[in-house]
Chains A and B, each alone.
Chain A
Amino acid sequence: MTVTERQQRAYVDAQAADARVNVELETDEGMTLNIGPQHPATHGTLRVVAKLDGEQVVWADVVAGYMHRGYEKLAEVRTFPQVTTLVNRIDWLGSFANEVPFILAAEQLMEIEAPARARHIRTILFEMARVANITLFLGDLGAQLGAVTPVFYAFRDREHVLDQIEAVTGGRFHPNFDRIGGLKDDLPKGWIADTKAVMERIRSFCDQVEELLFGNEIFEARTRGVGVVPAEVALSYGLTGASIRGSGVDWDLRRDGGVIGLAHGDVDWKVWTHPDGDCFARCWVRLQETREATKIVDQLCDGLPGGPIMAKVPRIIKVPEGEAYVETENPLGAMGYYVVSRGDLGPFRVKIRSASFSNVSILPWLLRGVYVPDIITILASLYFILGDIDR
């Protein structure tokens, strides 16, 4: 049987592709395992290359960059509103939260303060982005460890949060709603009552997940004592968010960051920490944070001030010269934008400090000596979004 030309070409292409993707599989010193870049457990296109000795990891490396889209370069050729649209897509689950630090940095440079109503609604949407993000995490957490059911609960209840975000902003994800000086539009009628009902639903979802997952002895056996990150190591690697609060560090930018432009100071809420530093601690902290976020939204909905939704802003926005750095407590951790402006329509340089970049940089250190199934558990508990790592 003759080999057709098409088959020959396909073979050559496959060899070439192999040469770029392949890593030696078996040597005398042990096996090299390649996880990803397409793998259900890696939340996207992350590649972990691990040298194994039996079932234990001897050395691990993380190859990122499969989702690198060049945000910082693209931001230099876009105007400020255009960058706001683009920046939604960094952490694509909690999209509104990505816009906020950028807009706050631009507001700082322009010396504009958003009116109180805008600040409150911004915070409501910010916390709802957190809820949307972490509910998916909780569902996916089960899937990583082998329990498929929580995924469906998560998607079902998350749909309601996305409905509410869509009712205000017009988009389920990537709302592109924040503007320098306020927000694009006001809330529709009846939104507040609906949101409170949805938050109640999310609280019952959190209870369900707690029962299904956190009370499960298999879950506990697989996550307790696994992937322990001591607080000092975590700080030197720049871990933030729930990953560091799970190691006992009491730090939350909503309370300690001095961020002007969000309304967390006006409501009563609690920062959750857990001293253990293992996978269970991080997951548990996130669960509590989701509940806390729903309470914040409830309180803000109750005390929403009236007034304009947008400050007086010129039609064509030219941000004066200066540099500003604003960091906020995003769902994944601390996200910050260092905006350098030269008095132009668009930024001169934007440095995006994304939480998952630092969270994942600890993996080569953390994965030494763990067993192969624990790799997945650790990846799940550190919780990153690829767009956040690779920008």
Chain B
Amino acid sequence: MSDTTTGDVATEAQEEAPEVDEVRQGWLGTLTEALGDAVVGSHVAPGRGLWVRVSRDSWFDAAEAAKDLLGCTLFDFLSAIDWMPSPWGRYEDSSVDVGIKPFDPSASFATGVAGGDTRFQVFCHLANVRGRDGQRADVIFKADLPDDDLRVRSLVPLFGGANWHERECWEMFGITFDGHPGLRHLYLPGEFEGYPLRKDFPLLARLVKPWPGIVDVEPMPGEPAAAEDAEGGANGDGEQS
């Protein structure tokens, strides 16, 4: 059984021994017991959430295990993450825009909590709202999808609500769900070409006219003129210390 807890901000920030979330570890234990090798990664953020990364082939079984063993009958959402950084950054034309990591196509992109190796990850959140043994389990499942075969089994037989979420995921990312009653466009008109939420789908309006970022920097009231970067957004921040 592989049980990797990747360090995250929630646990690293404490000087003492990181707190152990017994309850969530218990849920994780139930799932790893049921799924065995299928669990390839996990992450517990104490008091916050439980992430479990499963292999693509056991996507359906993982959801079934959560539903039967943890009582997670609420289907919250299902979507995907495209981990490739956008080739155009934020399409900005400005020299005062600091902090953007320039696109490095040779670097392998880092993936998030619970690890991950591929560009596309499908993830879903299931929750138990009725409570079982005084606990209300909720778990976020993730699965890596190989680039050349963007398919995964559909959860519609388990949860009726997966229907719309999977349709949206298909039209936004191009991920096919095997066993879905009818994958067709949900949001976009029928003639739309492309998968908008993929990072290599450009926002044409921004390519045509890039956003200039901050063009004039005004000093905060009471401060001397600060001529440095101040990318605080077009509406100003009003942060008071």
Q: Which residues of A contact B (CB under 8 A)?
A: 20, 64-65, 68, 70, 72-74, 76-82, 85, 108-109, 111, 176, 179, 181, 184-185, 232-233, 235-238, 240, 244, 249, 251, 256, 258, 309-310, 312-313, 315-318, 320-325, 327, 334, 336, 338, 340, 342-346, 348-349, 351, 353, 357-358, 361-362, 365, 390
Query: Quick check: is B95 within 8 A (CB to CB) of the other chain?
Result: no
Contact A349 B241 (CB under 8 A): no
B73 pairs with A235, CB closer than 8 A: yes
Least CB distance, A264 to chain B, in whole angstroms? 16
Chain B 171-189 per-residue mask, 1 if CB under 8 angstroms from chain A, else 0: 0100000000000011111
**Contact call B130/A238, Cβ cutoff below 8 A:** no
Chain A nearest CB from B128 CB (Å) reads: 9
Structural contact, B76 and A357, CB atoms closer than 8 A: no
Which of A65, A76, A244, A322 is in CB contact (< 8 Å) with B8? Answer: A322
Query: Cβ of B150 < 8 Å from any Cβ of A?
Result: no
| CB nearest neighbor in A for B164 | A361
Distance between Cα atoms of A179 and B235 in the complex (Å): 12
**Given known contacts A236-B161, A237-B161, A325-B125, is B237 in contact with A108 (CB within 8 Å)?**
no
Say whether, besides A316-B99, A345-B100, A351 and B239 are in contact (CB < 8 Å): no
Roughly how many angstroms separate A366 CA and B36 CA in the complex, as a whole number? 38
Note all chain A residues with C-beta closer than 8 A to B61. Answer: none
Chain A residues with CB below 8 A from B231, complex form: 79, 316, 345
| CB <8 Å contact, A238 and B76 | yes
Chain B, Cβ-Cβ closest to A349: B81
Are A82's CB and B233's CB within 8 A? yes
Number of chain B interface residues as a range? 35 or more
- The distance from the CB of A46 to the nearest CB of chain B, in whole angstroms, is 12
Let me know if A81 and B233 touch, CB within 8 A.
yes
Please give the distance in Å from B27's CB to the nearest CB on chain A.
14
B160 with A237: CB separation less than 8 A: yes
For B89, the closest partner residue in chain A by CB is A77
Flag if B81 contacts A77 (CB, 8 Å): no
On whether the beta carbons of A310 and B8 are closer than 8 Å, the reply is no
A324 touches B230 (CB 8 A): no
Taking each of B13, B77, B82, which has the highest tally of chain A beta carbons within 10 Å of its own beta carbon?
B77
Taken together as a complex, chains A and B put the C-alpha atoms of A258 and B24 apart, in Å, by 14
Contacts of B211 in A (CB 8 A): 77
> Given A111-B13, A315-B232, A345-B231, are A236 and B75 neighbors across the interface (CB < 8 Å)?
yes
Residue of B110, B201, B203, B235 touching A342 (CB-CB under 8 A): B110
Shortest Cβ gap from B143 to chain A (Å): 15
B34 within 8 A of A: no
Q: A85-B235, A345-B231 are in contact. List 18 more A-B contacts (CB 8 A).
A: A65-B189, A77-B86, A77-B211, A79-B232, A85-B234, A109-B9, A233-B160, A238-B77, A238-B161, A256-B129, A310-B240, A313-B239, A316-B98, A317-B232, A342-B85, A351-B79, A358-B161, A361-B165
Residues of B near A80 (CB, < 8 A) are 233
Nearest to A237 among chain B residues (CB) is: B161
Asked if A323 and B82 sit within 8 Å, CB to CB, the answer is no
Q: B9 near A111 (CB under 8 angstroms)?
A: yes
Q: Is B234 within 8 A of A82, CB to CB? A: yes
Contact indicator A318/B81 (Cβ below 8 Å): no
**Nearest-neighbor residue (CB-CB) of A361 within chain B:** B164
